Chain A
Amino acid sequence: MAEEARNITDFEKEAEEMTRMHLLGADDRFERTEGGFLDLYSQGKHYEHVKVVRLFPFSDADRYLSIREDGEKAKEIGIIEDLSVLPEETVKLLKEQLDLNYFTPVIQKIYSIKDEYGYAYFHVKTDKGECRFAINMANNAVTKLSEDRLIISDLDENRFEIRDVNALSQKERRRLDLFL
């Protein structure tokens, strides 16, 4: 009977734990493993291969990062409120993980857009280098985040971002017109 009771409180504790918001700070130490993963030492515990998840990937990419356990039923270890106030070394480690977890090239220049039989072929310069991709014009490949910010998903579900449509030249904007 005593055993059953302990079990029930365990569940309660777990449910309680899930509602708590734990902020990570300067006391918590991150360490890069030899294989390129990230370990976390926090409150006397060692977490292997933690995942860094952006809570607001579009509106606030470098704030509110959820640090989560590895595995299928991953639980949150804690939240980093602001990347910029952390020591440089930690920022570097976290940025590396973010780069591995998020690949969204930002389009800086549109060389050409060709449409043919329902597909549009883009040739662009991004912050990750020059590239070509194709989108299906029938699907909603272009999502408007705001009046001047776009996310374009290509056929392979790669995502490309245009931070500010108005920063593009008149010519580039006209090429893009069809999708706005």
Chain B
Amino acid sequence: MILYYSLPEKIKQQIPLSEGERIYYAVPVDIDRNACWCTDSWLVVTTGAVLVFSEGSLCETYRICDCKDASAQPRVGGGLLSIRHKGTDKIIAHYSAKHLSRYAYVARGINILISGRFEEVESREYEKTCPVCGRAIPGTKNCPKCSKQGGVFKPFLSLVVPYKKQFFGIFILMVLAAVTTLLNPEIQKHLINDVLKGSGGMRQALVFLGMMFSLSVGIVVVNILKSNASARLGAKISADLRLELFKKYQELPISFINERRPGMLLNEITQDTQYIRQFMEDVFCNLFAVLFIFIWDVIFMMMLNLKLALITFLFVPLAVFLTMVFRRRVHRIFTLQFRKNDDVSSDLQDVLSGMRVVKTYGKEKEESERFKRLSAEYARINRSNETFWAFFSPLLQLIMGLGVLAVVYFGGRDVLGGTMTPGALYQFVTYTNLLFQYISWMNRLPMQLTQLASCLERINDILGQEVEKQDEKAVADVAIKGEIRFDHATFGYKSYQPVLEDINAVIKPGEMIGIVGASGAGKSTLINLLMGLYEVDDGSILVDGRDIKTIRKSSYHSQIGVVLQETFLFSGTILDNIRFSRPDATQEEIIRAAKLANAHDFICDTPNGYNTYVGEKGYSLSGGERQRIAIARAILTDPRILILDEATASLDTESEFMIQKALERLTGGKTTFAIAHRLSTLKNADRIMVIDRHRIAEIGSHEELMKQKGIYYSLQMAQNA
């Protein structure tokens, strides 16, 4: 995302830069004081001041040294940048939603400058519309239309190279298909000229018919082979890409995954690769054949009869234009139909799933009235579409046929005049038909190629991400004892939004720490850092005095056990799910872990015991049962550090008690972090850590905190009230 737009000369001249002062950020202000769109207004941040330009001239200057607390506040359809200048809060810029995240970064940047540091904030987010041509960018880094290194063919070539051999095979088949298609009319010409009009007998006729027959068979065979090979190659390419993408997703840091919408990641694996397969099957398999046929078709036509060829070509622009108009129209009406259909089915789903509510409020009649309206609307559109289709489709064919009509008229005159043989005319007509047939096919090509290019770009964008690997020399396997020290740890998921600030604490080996705080205060984030899913931005986390970054990830992860708020079970058996944390565990160990987690008994009650299939489509477990399986999974590794994020939140009181007992046995000697909303769950904790507003607000034993009468105290009061 651009944080430093190139400013017009006129603006630049008005920026008074002192010695060593540099411009860090320059972003457009697109809404003026009267809440109207405006242009040529800018917010410029230099290392010494924040400048606001309105309609091309400088109107405010705020020295960084007079400022405090810049903040970008999102509003509906836009946002406000405010700053505290000499003790007064001021709104200094109003912008539309287009610049929402841009200003969030800039506000962060201004705050860094205010704090006396000179780091420049950078944004890795992509622009949504191209700053050059204004087109939408389909989730890629560069605009597919404007990026110089792009074009359609480069990504396509990168796709082709690893499969040279297969591509070459298909290419040969395409040439064969083209040759056989083009040869047929030539033989037909001879049949007419030499046999029908000439003096050929039955024998000669049979020879020509035989040739035509074998050519037709040849076309069919070549086409089957070609489609088959293309389909196979398409499937292979998309399977390979899917696998590569999946591998990449596993390697990428979790922050990358969180930055993207999960839908997009899913689409890249499923839809984009799917499109590539489809492209190979539908488009590519004919691509060269059609181009080849098309070019030779034109050449043959000109060779046969130049005058006729030129007359035919006159109809080409008309045909191109008509097919384009027709296709656009068809696309429109069917999109419309699709939408209405969607309306009807989503309404239906709404009513059916809300049937109980509809019935209890006695609204059956209103609902059917509404549905009737939607349904009638859909029927109306459907009917008019069908009418359109029935009327215009033959009409289009008729107009396209005009070209042939002209050929027959002018060609017929030539034949009668004796300057052209009937066979040649027949051959020419066949070529003309071929020509118009392929024009409509080629018409779609640019769109399909662009779509392919953006699919490929999205995929390459992921595959091209660099993965930060741990430096093999600097890391080591370590047997953890369990002492943990937070040393000025600061972290935020987005660079401009710190979630934890300046966390300092020392946790002794074997200590149990309860973590409390309001939702969104940063409890789960603290645990994410402990699990090594993210790295701190500032400061460090030390395990047994060693920076967590220098412990090999695999070694660290094998020594921590985690039970999260949302229990995730993979599709598979209970056995698979428990064994996930340690694939080499014996059956006996698994049973012991399940017993410790208080899961053994309910597992015995399921139809297939430990082999019961769970997950999305399997045996449905209650929240508490899932939680207990997750606990069994966590304790199977006998971890040195145990992390419980609301581990017992979804259990009823009785099973919570049972698990608490189990956990008590278990947490002995292990450093344990437990997040809980229900404070009673934390009564065994050695110390409680209260997180409030991104910081540790209080830390100490239950008694100490109760004496302090702070946040923990009021939480206790609220829960006992």
Partner of B89, one of A33, A118, A130, A178: A33
Q: Is the CB of A129 within 8 A of B37?
A: yes
- Determine the residue in chain B with the shortest Cβ distance to A161: B77
Shortest Cβ distance from B91 into A: residue:
A36
Q: Which chain A residue shows the least CB distance to B84?
A: A35
Name the one of B38, B80, B96, B714 contacting A156, with C-beta atoms under 8 angstroms.
B96
Q: Convert B79-96 into 0s and 1s, putting 1 for each residue whose CB lies closer than 8 angstroms to a CB of A.
A: 010100100111100101
Once the chains are docked, how many angstroms separate the CA of A156 from the CA of B101? 10
Question: A101 in the interface, Cβ–Cβ < 8 Å?
Answer: yes
CA–CA, A180 and B583, complex, Å: 55
Q: Kindly state the separation between the CA atoms of A49 and B69 in the bound complex, as whole angstroms.
A: 15
**CB contact between A119 and one of B136, B336, B714 (< 8 Å): that residue:** B136
Is A159's CB within 8 Å of the partner chain B?
yes
The 0/1 profile, CB within 8 Å of A marked 1, for residues 32-69 of chain B is: 00011110000000000000000000000000000000
CB nearest neighbor in B for A180: B336
Q: Which residues of A contact B36 (CB under 8 A)?
A: 128-129
A16-24, A75-83, A131-139, A165-173: which lies at the interface = A131-139
Q: How far is the CA of A33 from the CA of B718 in the complex (A)?
A: 37
Are B134 and A102 touching (Cβ within 8 A)?
A: no
Q: Are A131 and B37 in contact (CB under 8 A)?
A: yes
B322-356, CB < 8 A from A: 332, 335-336
The residues of B that contact A49 with a CB separation of less than 8 Å are 89
Q: Count B-side interface residues using an 8 Å CB cutoff.
A: 38
**For residue A27, which residues in chain B have a CB less than 8 angstroms away from its CB?**
none
Q: How far is the CA of A160 from the CA of B539 in the complex (A)?
A: 45
In the assembled complex, the Cα of A120 lies from the Cα of B98 at a distance in Å of 17
Task: Kindly list chain B residues whose C-beta atoms are within 8 Å of the C-beta of A112.
Answer: none
In the bound complex, how far is the Cα of B717 from the Cα of A12, in angstroms? 12
CA distance A24 to B227 in the complex (A): 74
Docked-complex contact B97 and A178, CB < 8 angstroms: no
Check A158 for interface membership: any CB of B closer than 8 A.
yes
Max chain B C-beta neighbours (<10 A), residue from A35, A102, A118 = A35
A37 touches B91 (CB 8 A): yes
19 A-B pairs whose Cβ atoms sit less than 8 Å apart in the complex: A12-B721, A34-B90, A35-B89, A57-B76, A99-B35, A103-B75, A104-B77, A116-B135, A117-B447, A117-B450, A117-B451, A118-B138, A126-B37, A128-B37, A136-B136, A156-B98, A156-B100, A158-B97, A178-B335
Contact between A128 and B35 (Cβ–Cβ < 8 Å)? yes
Q: Are B129 and A155 in contact (CB under 8 A)?
A: yes
Known contacts A35-B82, A103-B76; is A8 also within 8 Å of B717 by CB?
yes
Q: Could you tell me if B135 and A134 are in contact, using CB atoms closer than 8 angstroms?
A: yes
- Residue in contact with A35 in the complex, picked from B75, B77, B90, B451, CB distance below 8 Å: B90
The distance from the CB of B121 to the nearest CB of chain A, in whole angstroms, is 20
Apart from A132-B134, A158-B96, 15 more pairs, CB < 8 Å: A7-B714, A8-B717, A37-B89, A100-B94, A101-B75, A103-B75, A103-B96, A103-B97, A104-B76, A117-B447, A128-B35, A128-B36, A134-B135, A155-B128, A158-B78
Q: Could you say which residues of chain A place their CB within 8 Å of the CB of B135?
A: 116, 119, 121, 134
Once the chains are docked, how many angstroms separate the CA of A102 from the CA of B38? 16
**Contact of A34 with B88 in the complex, beta carbons under 8 Å:** yes
Q: Is there a chain B Cβ closer than 8 Å to A89's Cβ?
A: no
B662 interface hit (Cβ, 8 Å): no
- Please give the number of chain A residues whose Cβ is less than 8 angstroms from any Cβ of chain B in the complex: 40
CB contacts between A and B, total, < 8 Å: 102
Docked Cα-Cα span, A129 to B454, in Å, equals: 33
Give residues of chain B (192-214) contacting chain A, Cβ–Cβ below 8 Å.
none
Minimum CB–CB distance for A126 against chain B, Å: 8
- A129–B129 Cα distance when bound, in Å, is 20
Across the interface, which residues of A come within 8 angstroms of B685, CB to CB?
Answer: none
B624 to chain A, nearest CB (A): 30
Q: In the bound complex, how far is the Cα of B449 from the Cα of A117, in angstroms? A: 11
Taking a contact as CB atoms under 8 Å apart, the answer to whether B91 and A103 are in contact is no
Q: Are the C-beta atoms of B37 and A130 separated by less than 8 Å?
A: yes
B31 near A103 (CB under 8 angstroms)?
A: yes
- Whether A25 is near chain B, meaning CB under 8 Å from some CB there, is no
Query: How many whole Å from B540's CB to the nearest CB in chain A?
Result: 29
Residues of A within 8 A of B (CB): 4, 7-8, 11-12, 33-37, 49, 57, 99-105, 116-119, 121, 126, 128-132, 134, 136-137, 155-159, 177-178
Contact between B332 and A177 (Cβ–Cβ < 8 Å)?
A: yes
Q: How far is the CB of B501 from chain A (nearest CB, A)?
A: 15
- Chain B residues with Cβ below 8 Å from A103 are 31, 35, 75-78, 94, 96-97
Residue contact B76 to A102, C-beta cutoff 8 Å: yes
**Residues on the B chain within 8 Å of A136, using CB:** 136
Which residues does chain A contribute within 8 Å of B78, judged by CB atoms? 103, 158
A contact face: mostly helix, strand, loop, or mixed: mixed
B391: min CB distance to chain A, Å: 19
With the chains together, A4 CA to B454 CA distance in Å? 64
On whether the beta carbons of A159 and B77 are closer than 8 Å, the reply is yes
Cβ contact of B721, chosen from A11, A116, A156, A158, cutoff 8 A: A11
- Which residues of B lie under 8 Å from residue A132 when comparing CB positions? 134
Bound-complex Cα distance A100 to B76 (A): 9
List the A side residues contacting B90 at CB < 8 Å: 34-36
Contacts of A101 in B (CB 8 A): 75-76
In contact, B97 and A11 (Cβ under 8 angstroms): no
Are B37 and A7 neighbours in the complex by a CB distance under 8 Å?
A: no
Cβ contact within 8 Å between B77 and A7: no
* A3 nearest in chain B by CB position: B709
Which interface residue of A4, A100, A126, A178 has the most chain B CB atoms within 10 A? A100
Known: A37-B89, A116-B135. A159 touches B332 (CB 8 A): no
Distance A116 CA – B328 CA, assembled complex (angstroms)? 11
* A178 adjacent to B88 (CB under 8 Å): no
The contact of A11 among B76, B91, B454, B717, by CB within 8 Å, is B717
Which residue of chain A has its CB nearest to the CB of B90? Answer: A35
Residues of chain A lying within 8 A (CB to CB) of residue B129: 134, 155-156
- A43, B128: Cα distance in complex, Å: 48
Q: How many angstroms from the CA of A100 to the CA of B74 in the assembled complex?
A: 10
Determine the residue in chain B with the shortest Cβ distance to A35. B90
How far apart sit A132 and B37, CA to CA, in the bound complex (Å)?
11
A18 nearest CB across to chain B (Å): 14
Residues of B within 8 A of A177 (CB): 332, 336
Which residues of the other chain, A, contact B88 by a CB distance below 8 angstroms?
33-35
> How many Å from the CB of A32 to the closest CB on chain B?
11
Which B residues touch A157, using CB under 8 A?
A: 77, 97, 100
Question: CB distance B128 to A156 under 8 Å?
Answer: yes
Rounded to whole Å, the gap between the CB of B128 and the closest CB of chain A is: 5
Q: Cβ of A36: which chain B residues have Cβ within 8 Å of it?
A: 90-91
Residues of A within 8 A of B85 (CB): 35
Instruction: Check if A100 sits within 8 Å of B721, measured CB to CB.
Output: no
User: In chain B, what residue has the closest Cβ to A119?
Assistant: B136
Bound Cα distance A121, B82 (Å): 32
**In the complex, chain A residues whose CB is within 8 Å of the CB of B76:** 57, 101-104, 159
Q: State the CA gap A87–B52 with chains docked (Å).
A: 33
**Chain A residues whose CB sits within 8 angstroms of the CB of B451 once the complex forms:** 117
Q: What string of 1s and 0s marks CB contacts (under 8 Å) between B701-718 and chain A?
A: 000000000000010011
Q: Is the CB of B89 within 8 A of A102?
A: no
B97 contacts A134, C-beta separation under 8 Å: no
- Separation in Å of the B196 CB from the closest CB of chain A? 51
How many whole Å from B521's CB to the nearest CB in chain A?
Answer: 11
**Smallest Cβ distance from A50 to chain B, in angstroms?**
13
CA distance A129 to B135 in the complex (A): 21
A155 touches B136 (CB 8 A): yes
* Distance between Cα atoms of A100 and B73 in the complex (Å): 11
Name the residue on A nearest B451 (C-beta): A117
Contact B336 A178 (CB under 8 A): yes
Chain A hits for B332, CB < 8 A: 177-178
Residues B35 and A134 in contact, CB atoms below 8 Å apart: no
In the assembled complex, the CB of B694 is this many whole angstroms from the nearest CB of chain A, namely: 11
Nearest-neighbor residue (CB-CB) of A126 within chain B: B37
Please determine whether A158 and B91 come into contact, CB atoms closer than 8 angstroms. Answer: no
**Closest partner residue, chain B, to A120 (CB atom):** B136
Distance from B667 Cβ to chain A, minimum over Cβ atoms (Å) = 31
Q: Using an 8 Å CB-CB cutoff, how does the interface string of B94-132 with A read, 1 for contact, 0 for none?
A: 101110100000000000000000000000000011000
Q: How many angstroms from the CA of A99 to the CA of B128 in the assembled complex? A: 25
